[in-house]
């Protein structure tokens, strides 16, 4: 049995069946590879498009957008009058996201917000159809609570890095979720464990795991 979180075979199969990337997404992937910038990657990106379509999404909110990679996958699934809110504390990354969206011809369905996503979301009324949480891992629970009252039945809340990341260890995470004491667990690992426990126990929500990329927790509002 492989000790990889996601095996090479699964990754190859996912790549064979996911939606095709356009020229802009290919450039964004090249940038992420060359800079070592963490994105969800094209296999998870294809799922973001699919989940947005399945939810008949018209409004999307992201807690943390980087240079717009995940948001671009979402935006491709939105209707022409749809709306996605990108948030990013790095102004240069947000400017890059705006440029990619303009080149892709989808900037008219995006709002680019500079600052802390948890502060920004307070300025928006719901409901949102899909939400992506990808900010500081220790603040995932805070992000969920900030958006919780702005959802509708059927809304999806997606949380990236639900299995692993540079600051999230999958083995320590599994141990924490099993109730074990892991004093050496990183703050990021602890943050993800707290989030997964929180949404698992939240009334009116159900959660499951998409085991692609670095893992995406998918929570539906009932």
Separation CA 6–CA 13 (nearest Å): 11
Separation CA 97–CA 201 (nearest Å): 35
Q: What percent of the chain has pLDDT over 70?
A: 98
Please tell me the pTM assigned to this model: 0.95
- pLDDT tens string 15-30: 899 889 999 999 999 9
Separation CA 61–CA 68 (nearest Å): 12
Torsion angle (degrees, nearest 10) of CA 85, 89, 94, 95: 140
pLDDT for 1 equals 31
Position 2 confidence tier, pLDDT thresholds 50, 70, 90: very low
- pLDDT tens string 161-215: 999 998 999 999 999 999 999 999 999 999 999 999 999 999 999 999 999 999 9
Alpha helices in the chain (DSSP H): 8-17, 23-35, 41-54, 69-75, 91-104, 117-120, 140-148, 170-177, 187-201
**What CATH number belongs to 8-221?**
3.40.50.150
pLDDT for 7 equals 78
> Average pLDDT in the 68-97 region?
98
pLDDT for 14 equals 85
CB under 8 Å to 200, separation ≥6 — which residues? Answer: 207
Specify the higher pLDDT residue, 123 or 7: 123
- For 14, the token pair is 């996912």
Nearest to 121 by CA among 108, 135, 109, 102: 135
């Amino acid at each position: 049995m492989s000790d990889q979180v996601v095996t090479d075979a699964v990754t190859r199969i996912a790549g064979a069946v996911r939606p095709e990337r356009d020229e802009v997404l290919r450039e964004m992937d090249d940038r992420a590879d060359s800079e070592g910038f963490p994105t969800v990657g094209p296999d998870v990106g294809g799922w973001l498009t699919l989940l947005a379509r399945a939810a008949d999404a018209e409004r999307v909110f992201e807690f943390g957008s980087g240079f717009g990679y995940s948001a671009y996958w979402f935006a491709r699934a939105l209707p022409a009058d749809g709306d996605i809110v990108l948030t990013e504390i790095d102004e240069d990354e947000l400017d890059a996201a705006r440029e990619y969206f303009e080149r892709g011809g989808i900037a008219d369905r995006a709002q680019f917000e500079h600052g802390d996503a948890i502060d920004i979301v307070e300025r928006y009324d719901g409901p949102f159809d899909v939400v992506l949480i990808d900010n500081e891992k220790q603040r995932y629970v805070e992000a969920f609570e900030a958006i919780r009252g702005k959802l509708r039945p059927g809304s999806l809340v997606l949380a990236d890095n639900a299995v692993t990341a540079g600051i999230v260890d999958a083995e320590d995470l599994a141990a924490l979720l099993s109730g074990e004491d892991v004093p050496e667990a990183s703050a990021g690992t602890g943050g993800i464990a707290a989030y997964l426990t929180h949404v698992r126990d939240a009334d009116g929500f159900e959660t499951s795991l998409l085991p692609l990329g670095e893992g995406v927790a998918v929570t539906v509002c009932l």
